[in-house]
Structure 1
Amino acid sequence: MTADSPGDLESEFFAEMVKSVGVGVGIYGSDGQYVYVNQAYADLFNATPEELTGKPIWEVVTTLEASDFDQYWESFEDGDTREAETTHSYNGREVLVATVTTQRSINGTAYHFETIKDITVRKAREEEIKRQNERLENFASIVSHDLRNPLNVAQGYIDMLQADISRDELQLVDNALDRMGLLITELLELAQSGREIGETEAVQLSDIAEDGWQTVSTTEAEFDVSKANKRIIADESRLRQLLENLFRNAIEHAGPDVHVTVDTTTDGFCVADNGPGIPLDERDQVFDTGYTTEGKGTGFGLSIVQQITTGHDWEVKITESVDGGAKFVFSGGEFDV
């Protein structure tokens, strides 16, 4: 294939190969003109491949000016691959697309091979989910605020009565109010956990874990973070929220004298305890919203853990710790080495 024989791009073998890709394909040379487009790409604009062949790329890609093309072309080296999300426009139709562009030289002539995928539906769905999450978070925040005021008043009167009267019934009311407070807190956290993960950076896992432990630990509990000595790429506040929920879960189910360990793995980290563990047949259910055992906890904590995990593009798996307790293993993370 040479620059003056672009027809070779339309050989039967090449056409079949491109057809099997299943997405739009466009190929252009150093002059910016398409020397080949496939039917899938032309279909995005209700056009034919022949209409687009010979068109300069800047007449289709809305973010690229003709005067900028030479600089764009020269910024590539042979073998470079770049991904982008942009808008392609032709024949009166604008389409949001995700592109993967690779420069390859054939018989000494450089071409850009570009795959183009319509992401209009995906983007619309993402925007709708974002709007729903914002509405849910605002609603949860308002409800949380409005519920806390009467709850605090009730708690104040219980504290006053307990100072003068020793009755088991008052302790039961006190416990119920504590549980209501926890429900409010975790309902708000659950709504907020649907937010997109914010800016990620390299954070010291042991430091984040220690900070989180201080907010939920008991005087009898033990904590070992000595092996979590790596910097992981994460949203610091959301990672801390994830760890706090795991620590709280361990204390609720294993008792106030639980021993919790945080450690790193080859591509992530793990949190383990020495409690009763989680039965094998229940491990697929524990991340469901509202799931709990023996009336302990609210059932929201691990659902929050799952949402934060998914937001980081990690995966979480439940296994058994060396002490027979629960072990949450997170994989897919990246470390700052």
Structure 2
Amino acid sequence: MNEENDDITVLYVDDEPDLLELLVIGLERESDRLTVLTETSAADGLDRFRDADVDCILSDYAMPGGTGLEFLRSVREIDPDVPFIMFAETGDEHVASEAISAGVTDYVIEKAIGGQHELLARKITANVDRRRAERRAQRTNERLREIAGVANDALWMFSDDWEELLFINEAHERLFGQPTEELRDAPDSFLDRVHPDDVDRVRQAMERASDGNPQSVEYRVHKSDSVVVWLESHCTPIRSDDGTVRRLTGFTRDITDRKRHEQELASRNEQLDGFASTVAHDLRNPINIADGHLGLARQQFDSEHLEASARAVVRMEELLEDLLSLARTGDEIGDTRPIDLAEVVRAAEDNVAMAEASLAIEDTATIECDPTRLKEAAENLLRNAIEHNEGRVEVTVGTLSGDGFFFEDDGVGIPVTEREAVFENGYSTIEKGTGFGLSIVEQVVTAHGWDIGVTSGDADGARFEVTGVSVDQ
């Protein structure tokens, strides 16, 4: 069957040579897609069908040496689906009934053919195009099933109410330890394998998906009495033209290794936090002692050496605070919630010695974030603007068209060659800087799954843009 292009090859069998010629001319004139082969007997037509690549057959019914009905039955033994259009001199109901029983595609009364080449050409192209589409769909389904059969993820499709399983691949049994036939019989039976503490959360996600909301949920599953795994399911509702949810499709994957890594990382961060707190406590004692004695010495003596020592002690305290903050920051964030950006920025302002600096909030939005961590990043951005500019500086905060927010100052700006380096640990362009402030900012931003970049502001100052943020203005 010719499927690589739109061309259609038609085999026309009729024992009347004049009718053959007329119909061939008429069909090929009606459509340049059609090429018509001809034979004058059922036997010759069957031989031609075996040898040629034929997309559709036209056959007369009454022919010597074998009727069109016998020809049809012989063709169907070779190809049950090739379009076969039969025409007869009269509308004999018995002949039509037998033709339908034998698998005819269409039945046309011969006396009505004259002048109706357009109709016949339309029937041929419609039937051939339909068969080609069905074969393409069948091949696509076969390929998808082959892919689904070797996929590591469980691929599934349910009815909109989760009461009917429409499709599941073999990976389900490997992930859940449950036979797929058991799931077909009871589509919600996979919940019996879900950890009791996670069942309600999974059910809520299913209900939200039925309401038309895409869902992603992580949960534990008892594959057996001794094996518990972490799975992650993503569900996308499929809607009809009127917006009604028709079915629910998605995939489930094993995330046990990822969860184990997250738990190990959390444990290491907890240990690091404890270590940093202990070290900070042990270091603060000698720093406080040194600072106290320096204060007494400066009351008794006036020496530039004592002043330098005092500045060194202050510097040690600043470094200790920044190192402790960096150690506690890590790559994790706590619970997130929607909060107003302006509220977070104003709270950060309260923790920063603004001196001659001023803050202007251009506009605000609701952001899903860890407020404590975001306030920490805002504090460091404010300090960065103050410490890297002399005299009065204004910091402006605003949103980025639904994609994020920015911090911008009207100071000296950051050279293009240094914009990537500013986020490196310990990098600073001023003597009193610790070089950890913007590194902490980047960690907070990255932990939220956002991105941060540096550019120039309207007044050529530094502008930090945080993107990839879902904001509700």
For this structure pair, what is the TM-score category when the shorter chain's length is used for normalisation? 0.7 to 0.9
CA contact (8 A) 2:193 2:223 kept: no
Q: Does residue 82 in structure 1 map to residue 215 in structure 2?
A: yes
**How far did 1:73 drift?**
7.5
**How far did 1:305 drift?**
0.5
- Per mean C-alpha deviation after superposition, the further-off stretch among 258-267 and 150-159 is 258-267
Give the distance between the partners of 1:11 and 1:168, measured in 2 at CA.
Answer: 84
CA contact (8 A) 1:47 1:91 kept: no
CA contact (8 A) 2:452 2:466 kept: yes
**Identical residues among aligned pairs (%):** 34
Consecutive unaligned residues in structure 1, runs of 5 or more: 1-7
Number of the residue aligned with 2:408 = 272
Number of the residue aligned with 1:333 = 469
Give the distance between the partners of 1:175 and 1:271, measured in 2 at CA.
Answer: 30
CA contact (8 A) 1:202 1:233 kept: yes
Q: Does residue 190 in structure 1 map to residue 296 in structure 2?
A: no
Give the distance between the partners of 2:321 and 2:371, measured in 1 at CA.
Answer: 20
CA contact (8 A) 2:209 2:235 kept: no
Number of the residue aligned with 1:201 = 337
Q: 1:300 aligns with which of 436, 439, 458?
A: 436
Q: 1:199 to 1:87 in 2, by over 3 A?
A: closer
Number of the residue aligned with 1:323 = 459
Q: 1:83 to 1:237 in 2, by over 3 A?
A: closer
Q: Does residue 95 in structure 1 map to residue 229 in structure 2?
A: yes
Q: 1:175 to 1:203 in 2, by over 3 A?
A: same
Letter in 1 for 2:232: A
Give the distance between the partners of 1:332 and 1:42, measured in 2 at CA.
Answer: 37
Number of the residue aligned with 1:115 = 251
Letter in 2 for 1:141: S
Give the distance between the partners of 2:322 and 2:154, measured in 1 at CA.
Answer: 45
- Per mean C-alpha deviation after superposition, the further-off stretch among 85-94 and 167-176 is 85-94
Number of the residue aligned with 1:238 = 373
Give the distance between the partners of 2:361 and 2:448, measured in 1 at CA.
Answer: 24
CA contact (8 A) 1:61 1:87 kept: no
**How far did 1:96 drift?**
1.4
The alignment partner of 1:209 has SS state of helix
CA contact (8 A) 2:176 2:221 kept: no
Q: Does residue 263 in structure 1 map to residue 398 in structure 2?
A: yes
The alignment partner of 1:302 has SS state of helix
What CA deviation, in whole Å up to 9, does each residue of 1:66-88 have, x standing for no partner? xx999997876475543221234
Q: 1:233 to 1:102 in 2, by over 3 A?
A: closer
Q: Which of 1 and 2 has greater Rg?
A: 2
**How far did 1:180 drift?**
0.5
Consecutive unaligned residues in structure 2, runs of 5 or more: 1-137
Number of the residue aligned with 1:38 = 169
CA contact (8 A) 1:134 1:195 kept: no
Aligned pairs, number = 325
What CA deviation, in whole Å up to 9, does each residue of 1:103-147 have, x standing for no partner? 5599xx965434111101111111111111111111111111221
**How far did 1:55 drift?**
6.8
Give the distance between the partners of 2:431 and 2:150, measured in 1 at CA.
Answer: 54
The alignment partner of 1:240 has SS state of helix
The alignment partner of 2:422 has SS state of coil
Number of the residue aligned with 1:23 = 153
Q: Does residue 155 in structure 1 map to residue 285 in structure 2?
A: no
